[in-house]
Structures are given as C-alpha cells and as structure tokens.
Amino acid sequence: MKNFLKYSLTICFLIIYTVATAQISNKEKRVLIDFYEQTNGKDWTTTWDLSSSASNWHGITIKNGYVTAIELHRNNLTGSIPESLGKLEKLEILNLAMNSLKGNFPEQLVQLKNIRTIQLEMNGLSGYLPQDYSNCLQLENLILFNNLFEGSLPAGISALKNLKVLNVSGNYLVGQLPKEIEQLKELEVFGIFGNKFQGVVAINFAKLPKLTELSLAYNNFEGATPEGIKELKSLKYLQLQGNKFNSFKSIFGLDKTTLATFHTDDQNLNLQFKNFDVKNTRMANTKFEDTDN
C-alpha cells in the first residue's frame, strides 16, 4: 500500500510538472497572438485554435514555461513579422521559410540571446539587414535566401563566432564583401549567389577551414579569384561563375576529388573537372530546397 501511494504521488507530480512547464506566461501568449494576427493566422494552412493551450498550437515548442521554437515554414503566412517576437527571451529556433511574408527583418530578432536558427528564406522580405549581431552570439544558422533585401552585407555578422550557415543568395545586396567574414571560423556554408556584390574579394578563405559550400556566383566580382580556396580540404560545392574574375591562379591545385560541384567562367578550367556534373549546382538551386529535407 505504501509503495502504491508513493507511485501515485510520483505520477501526480509528473503530471502537474508536465502541465506547468507546458504553460507560458500571459506575456508570451500575447506575443504569439500578435504574431498570429500580424501574419493572418486564420488563413494559414494549419492554423491555431486560440481557445486551446498554446502547447497545442502547430509549430510551437514550449520548454520550462517558455516558447523555444516557432517552426511554421510553408504554412501560408502573409503579412509581416512583428517586432514583438523579440520579447520571447528563450526563443532558439525561428523558421518561417517558404511563406509570403513581406516587410522588414525586425532587428529585435538579433537581440535574442538564445537564438540559434533564423530561417526566413523564400519570402518577400525587403529593406536592410540588421547591423549589430553582438547580442545573438549563439546563432548558428542565418538563412535568408530568395528575398528582396538590399544594401550591404553587414560587417557586424563577424561577431557570430558560432555561425555555421550564412546564406543570403538571391537578394539585391551590393558593395564589397567585408573582410571581417574571415572571423567566422565555424562557417560551413557561405552562399551569396545571385546578388549585386562587386569589386575584389579580399577574403582569404583559408581562414574558414570548415567550409563545405562556397557560392560567389552571379555577382559583379572582378580581379583574381580570392585566396585560400585551394586550401579548403572539406569543400564540396564551389561556384564562381557569372562574375568578372580575370585570374583563377588562386584555385590551381584544388583537390577535385572532394568536389560534388565545380563551376567557373573558365571553360578550360571546367574541363579539368569534367567528371563532375556541373549542372548539379546545389547553391544555385537553394531556392527549390525543402526545409523538411
């Protein structure tokens, strides 16, 4: 009888604890409702029943009473991203990819100290990227391709020492690449395909030894291809085509056995990689990738 009572009390405690930690404060619930209203939640593919607990809402993860993830990619979100999301102090993942969102990238998102992933790709977002990233130092994935962003690539991104994926392909970004990108030692994917960047690329990519994907294609870069590419031992995808590079000496000696994709504007050089399918341009096709995969 004593053991049964002890077991029952344990089960009751676990139930109470689970229910309690699945609840969120009124403050955070108001933020989610504001988000729902600003993005026309009633028209989402999978919508929320606002009369039910937030723990039951599609795409929402709650831990210890805080919202830690909003994952609503490909869910027919329209409207704009409200600045109030910046009040979700424990938010780690924000994935709103493949929707029809417009408006700006709220600077409040990069004030979140726990944020690890921001995925806003394949929307209609516009304006300038935030300049200051000194508060979101846990950020690992900043994925913004196929939007309408303009202006330059902020040098402030170099503060993100844990960043692994930086993909701003398919926007309208201009100017020269900041040399400070060299400080992103954990970077594995650097995609700036299809923007309006220009000038000489001063980055020494040997300082980014973990790179597996590098796409500088279809911009207005000139001069010699950047230094250090041939030193990248993990590189699998390299795209340099669609620029005005006048020398490819810096990539002579690149180990082609590790590559799945290689493409430049030098056809003689491409022939050296003829065993590879240069149409297999992963970075070029980023716009078609499903975030579920």
Q: Domain range for residue 9?
A: 2-288
Rounded to two decimals, the pTM is 0.88
Residue 73 in domain: yes
pLDDT of residue 2: 55
Strands of 148-151's sheet, edge to edge?
Answer: 102-103, 124-128, 148-151, 172-175, 196-199, 220-224, 244-247
Phi then psi for residue 177, to 5 deg, are -75, 135
Residue 120 within any structural domain of the chain: yes
What pLDDT, on a 0 to 100 scale, did the predictor assign at position 1?
Answer: 57
Percent of the chain at pLDDT exceeding 90? 80
CATH number of the domain residue 105 falls in? 3.80.10.10
**3 state DSSP class of 247:** strand
Widest CA span of the chain, in angstroms?
85
- pLDDT of 275: 54
For 70, 76, 126, 212, 235, the CA distances from 145, given in Å and listed in that order, are: 19, 18, 12, 18, 21
pLDDT at residue 120, rounded to an integer:
98
What was the pLDDT predicted at 267? Answer: 85
Regions in the chain scoring below 50 on pLDDT: 8-21, 276-293
Residue 263: which of 279, 248, 245, 250 has the closest Cα? Answer: 279
Please give the Cα distance from 69 to 115 (Å, whole number): 9
Please report the pLDDT score of residue 27 as a whole number: 97
* Total of domains in the chain: 1
pLDDT at 178: 98
Is there a domain that residue 293 lies in?
A: no
Q: 135 lies in a domain?
A: yes
| 3-state SS, residue 117 | strand
